[in-house]
Amino acid sequence: MSQGQTPPTPRESALVFAEGARSGWIASDLIAWMNEHLIAPKRLDTRDGRVHQVVEHGCPTIVFNGATPITPAIRTQTASQVPSLVASARERVIHALRATVRTGETSFVNTALYAGRVARERGPLSKPHWHVYVTEDDALSDQVLALFAADALTHPVDYERNIAVCDVCGAIVFSQSPSRHGCEAHPFGAVEPRSGHWTHSRTNARS
């Protein structure tokens, strides 16, 4: 993010992760996202503005040591670790958002607030807004959920009525779609309307 450029909103940053991770990320993709969407907007506090490590629940810690760009040695060491960690983080995020779609509750918001990952502050012209504060000791999924939490606190109605998580591909969308379990590619999620009846699709859902 260049100087003077408007930082991405928490929703934009969270959705970039969710969609990018769905297509498969390597180390350079993950670090580029963290630089643009966490470090540059001053959401992630690191010692020197570089990514040193990434952690996730149930996964080995990935150490980058602030390397920019990624060295061949680190690329080789993390070739299998990063995709697995990113997939695990995304799966945990999807699970939390699916619970919101199913129950209407946003427990991930309370978790982020209690952990201090989201706080209310005054921005330009003293306008209050919700800001994300995470560290490299926070799991990647918790960093992303903090972004969604800040967005949910700013736009609560969207999480009560509009957010949808596709049962087929795991896409996250904010729109008044035919189903809150579908997306543009799969409007009705894991069910298909046939002759006025709803039937389960044979497409396997994945997150």
Q: Residues 22-63: pLDDT tens digits?
A: 888 988 899 999 999 999 999 998 889 999 999 999 999 998
Top mean pLDDT of 35-39, 184-188, 192-196, 202-206 is at 35-39
How would residue 184 be classed by pLDDT, with cut points 50, 70 and 90? confident
Find where tokens 């978790």 sit.
111
How would residue 202 be classed by pLDDT, with cut points 50, 70 and 90? very low
AA identity, residue 177: S
Full-prediction pTM beyond 0.75? Answer: yes
Report the pLDDT averaged over residues 63-85: 77
Which residue, 92, 82, 79, is CA-closest to 18?
Answer: 92
Find where tokens 């990624």 sit.
70
Give the tokens for residue 48: 């020197």
From the CA atom positions of the chain, what is the Rg in Å?
A: 18
121-131 burial string, b = 16+ CB within 10 Å, else e? eeeeeeeeebb
Is the distance from CB of 130 to CB of 116 less than 8 angstroms? no
How would residue 3 be classed by pLDDT, with cut points 50, 70 and 90? low
Measured CA distances, 169 to 17, 21, 179 (Å) = 15, 12, 14
The Cα 100–Cα 108 span in angstroms is 9
Is the distance from CB of 112 to CB of 149 less than 8 angstroms? yes
Reported as a single tens digit per residue, the pLDDT across 130-179 is: 999 999 999 999 999 999 999 999 999 999 988 999 888 888 999 776 77
Residue 198: pLDDT above 80? Answer: no
Is the distance from CB of 35 to CB of 8 less than 8 angstroms? no
The Cα 44–Cα 129 span in angstroms is 17
Q: Name the burial class of residue 40, with classes exposed (0-12), middle (13-18) and buried (19+) by CB atoms within 10 angstroms of its CB.
A: middle
The Cα 137–Cα 139 span in angstroms is 6
Average pLDDT, whole number, for the chain?
85
